Structure 1
């Protein structure tokens, strides 16, 4: 039996003593019991800290205390600080951060006269710049929300335009999520040491997670080491004749800039972290390489991958590794302590749960909210942006192009990745929003319109029946150049030709009826925008289009008309739709896992598959472009949508195709909403033990074994129906049949005859 003991320490940068121990009930990065915990004791007395350590050792030494049900009894026996340190997070609950924001600052809806507008588009397309125009914030003076050509928005940003005081509600990712990301960053930095990279490159990999969500440089400060002989590039090197400097716009506000003394301290901390990463690689990783007789810099890529997979669990077991991760978390908490305004709600560990703030002063309000949303380089070392999963603000944010305060709620989330992969899915975080909003604004770059990601959004909007909510805002229209495009009319025709071509390419997949509905929506509600990075309120063309866009969004609060023509279905054809969907899902994932080969589906790297596995073990459902839940939803929704396109008859013949698609929209929406929960339950929740088993695999050959295990999960969770079906396949088939039948009846349609929703099938 493993022996657990506690000790005390003093964390650099934080006053008082902390207690350290490996927790017998909490799981580490390897999903094994023994997570190394560090908790502040709230005392500067060494004697008092020693007494608390003695109590913790007594608790750790008697496994009769190792149950959450003994907490109340433990409070009688031990100091509350010891009890809290041990029992907190033993059963971590998934926090509904949207519900937290709703409790602090309710989001108005149609019943309040407000239209909810959801902006979605590729990174750098201009979503956040459009939000700025709609709320009247200055790109130089306010810098809210933050923009960049790189991934800037990782949190949901929700803006309520309303009279009254300025209010904010900010919520944070759980500590476990951030800890997991830090562990991956430390591992990547160690890998950079083994690869012989420079110090700058090692620190870069420590400070920036590969999926670009966790950017520790925002919080801890950027690496600024520069060789004395290195030439500093002048602004002229980045002058491409656009009349604007490529550097920082506006004056650096002293309230935002990190003081030089603090920046110097941050650099010293980063140098210390670098030294510890190097020590970790030298003392843990390199001996394994020596034992394997591998020279990392000359090894083949597959040999390097095999070595790294053996090294990763050994790093996770090292005290050097866990101490470094805990020190970084302590460093992060010191930045949280620097926020002087507003009110935090924190866990007993000090980790922030939510922050709220209210004031009449607009400038003060934006200044304080920027700590949680900015990407402003002079503020690196103070920003909490990477920790934030949602920012909701309310106030009289007035657009410059109108004197009114339009009753709008603007929702801006993380941008879609740029991808050439035609099989890429739209994340469930985005698609779940479709049913909750009144307008879906697809923001697309007019210079390169209708690439794979925008088309994926169109497909998701169409097959889910939400095409009546669709609006497309084409940005960068001012940047379209060409001798054959002399004026606005020609530019619009050029853009719409790309739209027709893109939507036409979807017809074979989503069906002609849905594709035609999408095309009508875009042709009716396409807005041509330019100059959004400037003060567009002074540009006549931009003002005209922005006013049109606002008017379209405000009209969306009117209840939609429902045709009295209703479809009637025979469910017998549904089985073929389910079969086609699951077969395509399995074909794509077999290739991603390296178990098959298809030319249009990329194989995922072993580390990415393992990262997905880790996310699922800790309660999430995706990692980067690996989104099994979103993928099965997409394939099922696409095929079910095709099934819904062909009812066996109608209660009354629709007047035209447009009326028919309006009548089918409600059924599509009902199926889509239900599919999210069914897919999540089957792929993630019911298969959790199997995901755990896949993640536990270690050693030579574990990459292939993990791929096989995950394939087995999908085979069980979303099986392909066939002539002879296992019980799991029958259960899955019946579940989809029932949700489709219920959706049809709920939306006003009906089922032909008395066909049952389920069947026993063949065992």
Structure 2
């Protein structure tokens, strides 16, 4: 394949741009030839032509297609051409946590700090709680942002101390953001395919299906004639004092700028409709001559072909690039702090850092990366942010206590009705690095499916000693049969005990019994968290004080018993067999190979979305579809049951509690290592297979994709039997090695007796 470059006028600005297919960078379908566009920095057509000629010379000679030729290329070609070609070619994406560590190290036990991981369902109030713990006023500071929808979509790490205010903000890669933009444009085009209104098309364009990526924050909200009718749905009474949520007029987009944003959005929506209408007309004429009589399978096949061919459409690619250039301009609005890039050739920043002694100034600038403030839509960088780490005098105002605690907050768990759904690995991988796992749950509907999944994972992984549960909205727990705080608390805790009783169906009794003995002392009741800390009632402040005490105690875990277990590996094979069978069975239901009352078949578009994310190495899960987390969860549970039955001890434990304390670190080590094993077996070893599934289109493609995914799972987690295949033997050995190492590291042993 030959590669050539061309010039075109730069949209909305004077000068020319260069466009070319990059021979060494893959597009969103994993194929070489990513379309790249860069500004040439000149309005002179002759100079632009000369630069294009240089790029064509570089593209024609494969000897330049090597990251190591960067300095040589600078001696031969203009830096603009060199940067355009070598950007994204020189280095892999840096670890965002390591980038933040370089600016603000994350303290731990060795520094006298306890680390607390916030986990909870969307809207439970974990970010509202965090505000009180760091002294953030809900009206003036508005950091971190809150709402009933998915608000916290990046990791937020807060380190209270007495130094200056410092921030380190890392961004998703340009590749990941471009993939999200493509998803949004595809969804908007599909809305046109379905004959939806312009407003619906705009909504699909501005809001990604998983609700984590919102172009409206970057490009502005879509204005409709219905907006004026919102006053009819104002629940604020005349006697209710509204909060003054506007802390600085500089955050509000001026009317003229808002009008320009709306005009640009209108042009994007119009271009989306034009692209989709033309492509849809061709495909429907060929594949659906009689749409009213077409079978569901034919409609599905036509839609999938429509979506696949959009990726090959030049107008579609140009629209995506135009939106990406618009997004890139948002970084130009940052007038303080330092933006860092991966290399000299990179144009996409990977880190922003800032330091000041002025609290108000600090929070105002950090809010650009975390806010969901509607009047600022069009200027916010929130959807681009992978993580925010801040350090400074961020202490609570409800107490004089200056606890040395690192607070780690992240995205909510969602409200999946599937009780078998596993906790995202983005959360569980952090269990090993924290001292407290704080489950934040809603006291009005306590311990629903997502909270149950957390308790299940914490128990099986041996981390139940780190658990604390904070029930928010406790002020809304009301009833004639609940006259006192004690009665209300008992009512809420009954849900915890009810679930622990059911958990015995999955895990052996001893570990559940150990949790039941300590759970009540690890639960805290909070309410009214939307108010400022000064307005909280005394009872809530007292519970917050106790919570801080719990965090401080967690830095010094109890000493490990000297009793060490010994195991016979014979039973481990049955544990792996049950785990693999459970994993395979659940995904058999999700992929539609069998029916179940508990687990529903997933829509083909969601399965395809998961396939695309893994194939393009963007993520290992999509929404509640989490094969790696499921793999880790099921094997962890069965190995946990195996570990509950040692064949002997070096010394008989005094009771079940001591036995569980001795086994817990083994469980934790197994849980940690299983994450690596799962990613390797399910993803890394099968990227070719995932990419093949991503390429399917047309009639029967959803079924072929499902068959391929099931085959991946059967190879990655084969069910051991009486006679085992080579993959099953390799799988068994990998698990056995992990368990053996974990046991021996803790002073135990595993050998045939």
Residue equivalent to 2:76: 77
- CA drift of 1:237 comes to 4.0
The answer (yes or no) to whether the contact 2:275–2:316 under 8 Å persists in 1 is yes
Residue equivalent to 2:219: 220
Query: What secondary structure, in the 3-state scheme, does the structure 1 residue paired with 2:229 have?
Result: coil
**Structure 1 Cα separation of the partners of residues 426 and 545 of structure 2:** 29
- 1:119-177: CA deviation from partner (whole Å, max 9, x where unpaired): 10000000000000000111011110000110000100000000010000000011111
Tell me the TM-score normalised to structure 1 length: 0.95
- CA drift of 1:696 comes to 2.2
Out of 555, 560, 563, which is 2:561 matched to?
563
In the alignment, is residue 328 of structure 1 matched against residue 323 of structure 2? yes
**C-alpha spacing 1:522/1:295, structure 2 compared with 1 (3 Å):** farther
Residue equivalent to 1:232: 229
**C-alpha spacing 1:244/1:598, structure 2 compared with 1 (3 Å):** farther
- CA drift of 1:73 comes to 4.2
In the alignment, is residue 313 of structure 1 matched against residue 308 of structure 2? yes
Moved more, 585-594 or 450-459: 585-594
The answer (yes or no) to whether the contact 1:195–1:297 under 8 Å persists in 2 is no
Moved more, 712-721 or 65-74: 65-74
1:344-359 correspondence to structure 2 within 5 Å: 344-347=339-342, 348-359=345-356
Residue equivalent to 1:416: 413
Query: What secondary structure, in the 3-state scheme, does the structure 1 residue paired with 2:683 have?
Result: helix
**Structure 1 Cα separation of the partners of residues 266 and 661 of structure 2:** 61
**C-alpha spacing 1:49/1:560, structure 2 compared with 1 (3 Å):** farther
The answer (yes or no) to whether the contact 1:30–1:313 under 8 Å persists in 2 is no
**C-alpha spacing 1:72/1:352, structure 2 compared with 1 (3 Å):** closer
In the alignment, is residue 471 of structure 1 matched against residue 468 of structure 2? yes
In the alignment, is residue 445 of structure 1 matched against residue 442 of structure 2? yes
Out of 535, 542, 545, which is 1:544 matched to?
542
Residue equivalent to 1:627: 626
- CA drift of 1:95 comes to 2.2
Moved more, 322-331 or 538-547: 538-547
Query: What secondary structure, in the 3-state scheme, does the structure 2 residue paired with 1:371 have?
Result: helix
Query: What secondary structure, in the 3-state scheme, does the structure 1 residue paired with 2:316 have?
Result: helix
Residue equivalent to 2:695: 696
- 1:278-328: CA deviation from partner (whole Å, max 9, x where unpaired): 111122222111111256688665443221111112100111101000000
**Structure 2 Cα separation of the partners of residues 689 and 372 of structure 1:** 36
Moved more, 41-50 or 401-410: 41-50
Query: What secondary structure, in the 3-state scheme, does the structure 2 residue paired with 1:167 have?
Result: strand
- CA drift of 1:252 comes to 5.7
**Structure 2 Cα separation of the partners of residues 295 and 96 of structure 1:** 52
The answer (yes or no) to whether the contact 1:473–1:527 under 8 Å persists in 2 is yes
Residue equivalent to 1:713: 712
**C-alpha spacing 1:115/1:220, structure 2 compared with 1 (3 Å):** same
- CA drift of 1:68 comes to 3.9
Query: What secondary structure, in the 3-state scheme, does the structure 1 residue paired with 2:722 have?
Result: coil
Moved more, 690-699 or 100-109: 690-699
- 1:630-674: CA deviation from partner (whole Å, max 9, x where unpaired): 110001000000000111111111111111111110100010011
Out of 605, 608, 630, which is 1:607 matched to?
605
1:329-728 correspondence to structure 2 within 5 Å: 329-347=324-342, 348-538=345-535, 539-619=537-617, 620-728=619-727
Structure 2 stretches of 5 or more lacking a match?
A: none
Tell me the TM-score normalised to structure 2 length: 0.96
Residue equivalent to 1:166: 165
- 1:538-579: CA deviation from partner (whole Å, max 9, x where unpaired): 321111000000011011111431011111111110000000
**Structure 2 Cα separation of the partners of residues 460 and 424 of structure 1:** 11
**C-alpha spacing 1:316/1:722, structure 2 compared with 1 (3 Å):** same
**Structure 2 Cα separation of the partners of residues 231 and 623 of structure 1:** 36
Query: What secondary structure, in the 3-state scheme, does the structure 2 residue paired with 1:510 have?
Result: coil
Residue equivalent to 1:760: none
**Structure 2 Cα separation of the partners of residues 606 and 94 of structure 1:** 31
**Structure 2 Cα separation of the partners of residues 588 and 9 of structure 1:** 52
Residue equivalent to 2:94: 95
**Structure 2 Cα separation of the partners of residues 296 and 396 of structure 1:** 64
**C-alpha spacing 1:15/1:522, structure 2 compared with 1 (3 Å):** farther
**C-alpha spacing 1:719/1:83, structure 2 compared with 1 (3 Å):** same
Query: What secondary structure, in the 3-state scheme, does the structure 1 residue paired with 2:38 have?
Result: strand
Moved more, 69-78 or 112-121: 69-78
Query: What secondary structure, in the 3-state scheme, does the structure 2 residue paired with 1:234 have?
Result: helix
**Structure 1 Cα separation of the partners of residues 426 and 603 of structure 2:** 24
Superposed CA RMSD in Å reads: 1.9
The answer (yes or no) to whether the contact 2:178–2:320 under 8 Å persists in 1 is yes
**Structure 2 Cα separation of the partners of residues 205 and 450 of structure 1:** 33
**C-alpha spacing 1:150/1:661, structure 2 compared with 1 (3 Å):** same
Moved more, 513-522 or 52-61: 513-522
Query: What secondary structure, in the 3-state scheme, does the structure 2 residue paired with 1:197 have?
Result: coil
**Structure 2 Cα separation of the partners of residues 73 and 630 of structure 1:** 46
Residue equivalent to 1:55: 54
The answer (yes or no) to whether the contact 2:87–2:347 under 8 Å persists in 1 is no
Query: What secondary structure, in the 3-state scheme, does the structure 2 residue paired with 1:711 have?
Result: helix
Query: What secondary structure, in the 3-state scheme, does the structure 2 residue paired with 1:8 have?
Result: strand
**Structure 2 Cα separation of the partners of residues 305 and 72 of structure 1:** 50
**Structure 2 Cα separation of the partners of residues 118 and 610 of structure 1:** 32
Residue equivalent to 1:115: 114
- CA drift of 1:604 comes to 1.5
**Structure 2 Cα separation of the partners of residues 445 and 373 of structure 1:** 23
- CA drift of 1:243 comes to 4.5
**Structure 2 Cα separation of the partners of residues 194 and 84 of structure 1:** 39
Q: How many residues align?
A: 749
- CA drift of 1:748 comes to 2.1
**Structure 2 Cα separation of the partners of residues 731 and 371 of structure 1:** 49
Query: What secondary structure, in the 3-state scheme, does the structure 1 residue paired with 2:168 have?
Result: strand
Query: What secondary structure, in the 3-state scheme, does the structure 1 residue paired with 2:360 have?
Result: helix
Structure 1 stretches of 5 or more lacking a match?
A: 756-763
**Structure 1 Cα separation of the partners of residues 93 and 249 of structure 2:** 38
Query: What secondary structure, in the 3-state scheme, does the structure 1 residue paired with 2:88 have?
Result: coil
Moved more, 375-384 or 617-626: 617-626
- 1:668-714: CA deviation from partner (whole Å, max 9, x where unpaired): 00100111111111111111122122222232212111111111111
- CA drift of 1:345 comes to 0.9
Residue equivalent to 1:8: 7
The answer (yes or no) to whether the contact 1:471–1:521 under 8 Å persists in 2 is no
Residue equivalent to 1:179: 178
In the alignment, is residue 29 of structure 1 matched against residue 42 of structure 2? no
The answer (yes or no) to whether the contact 1:165–1:396 under 8 Å persists in 2 is yes
The answer (yes or no) to whether the contact 1:172–1:352 under 8 Å persists in 2 is yes
The answer (yes or no) to whether the contact 1:670–1:747 under 8 Å persists in 2 is no
The answer (yes or no) to whether the contact 1:194–1:297 under 8 Å persists in 2 is no
**Structure 1 Cα separation of the partners of residues 31 and 110 of structure 2:** 49
Query: What secondary structure, in the 3-state scheme, does the structure 1 residue paired with 2:372 have?
Result: coil
In the alignment, is residue 258 of structure 1 matched against residue 258 of structure 2? no
The answer (yes or no) to whether the contact 2:666–2:743 under 8 Å persists in 1 is yes
- 1:79-116: CA deviation from partner (whole Å, max 9, x where unpaired): 23222322322476142100100111001111111111
The answer (yes or no) to whether the contact 2:416–2:624 under 8 Å persists in 1 is no
Residue equivalent to 1:285: 280
- CA drift of 1:70 comes to 4.4
- CA drift of 1:610 comes to 1.5
- 1:317-368: CA deviation from partner (whole Å, max 9, x where unpaired): 1111010000001101111110111110135452120000000000000000
Query: What secondary structure, in the 3-state scheme, does the structure 1 residue paired with 2:151 have?
Result: coil
**Structure 2 Cα separation of the partners of residues 30 and 100 of structure 1:** 28
Moved more, 287-296 or 475-484: 287-296
